[in-house]
Chains A and B, each alone.
Chain A
Amino acid sequence: AQSVSQHNHHVILSEAASLELGCNYSYGGTVNLFWYVQYPGQHLQLLLKYFSGDPLVKGIKGFEAEFIKSKFSFNLRKPSVQWSDTAEYFCAVKPGGFKTIFGAGTRLFVKA
């Protein structure tokens, strides 16, 4: 079955630390890839997405993600996190058609 695996369920960082959240998916064909973010008390919103072209995708608030097809990965990165990045982050894969498959989420807490 198609699935999305996020490596860490909880991450705690200090401000200014670098962030990398892992995401791997199991699907051999063409996929569209997303990272969504859910800030405390808010609904999910799109952080960035990859459909085609440059595998390094830049999103809002200084986030970026790299699609590595050979590794079936779409890891999220940020060079220097801020307290306001405290949120839950979801990787999602759309393997064609309508359905989107979400990972279990990673809760990030940034210490001020």
Chain B
Amino acid sequence: NAGVTQTPKFQVLKTGQSMTLQCAQDMNHEYMSWYRQDPGMGLRLIHYSVGAGITDQGEVPNGYNVSRSTTEDFPLRLLSAAPSQTSVYFCASSYKSAGGPTDTQYFGPGTRLTVL
């Protein structure tokens, strides 16, 4: 299994540009999430999905859109990039344990985004 894959690894945008960060997992996990990692702030949840066709907002959703048309893919769209969105973005997936609550998250390698 490839696990969780993310593309691109690096990206530079100009303010106002839009782009899509790709995330895919081949573990048939139901749950997928997008986080941003900023120095001194840890990981903050942007959006998450509990299954195909179902998404919800996390802590910092503004300026981002997501969709989940398949179990495998969970792209993150930046609608109009701003310098405040300069960050490292991580996608993660997890499966639902037998008891109900979700379990360990598996992270992708990250995308380092710079917005000028």
When each residue 63-97 of chain A gets 1 if its CB lies under 8 Å from chain B and 0 otherwise, what string results?
00000000000000000000000000010001011
Cross-chain contact A90 with B58 (CB below 8 angstroms): no
User: Are A43 and B101 within 8 A (Cβ)?
Assistant: no
- Report yes or no: B90 in contact with A99, Cβ–Cβ below 8 A: no
A11 within 8 A of B: no
Residue on B with the closest CB to A4? Answer: B42
Query: In the complex, which range does the number of interface residues on chain A fall in?
Result: 20 to 34
Pair A43/B109 contact, Cβ less than 8 Å: yes
Which size class do B's interface residues fall under? Answer: 20 to 34
Secondary structure at chain B's binding surface: helix, strand, loop or mixed?
strand
Give residues in A with beta carbon < 8 Å to B.
Answer: 4, 6, 9, 32, 34, 36, 42-46, 49, 90, 94, 96-100, 102-105
Residues of B whose CB lies within 8 Å of any CB of A are 31, 33, 35, 40-45, 48, 50, 58, 90, 92, 101-102, 104-105, 107-110
Instruction: List the A side residues contacting B44 at CB < 8 Å.
Output: 102
Contact call B90/A44, Cβ cutoff below 8 A: yes
Contact with B110, one of A43, A49, A90, A105 (Cβ below 8 angstroms): A43
* A48: min CB distance to chain B, Å: 10
Closest-by-CB residue of B relative to A90 is: B42
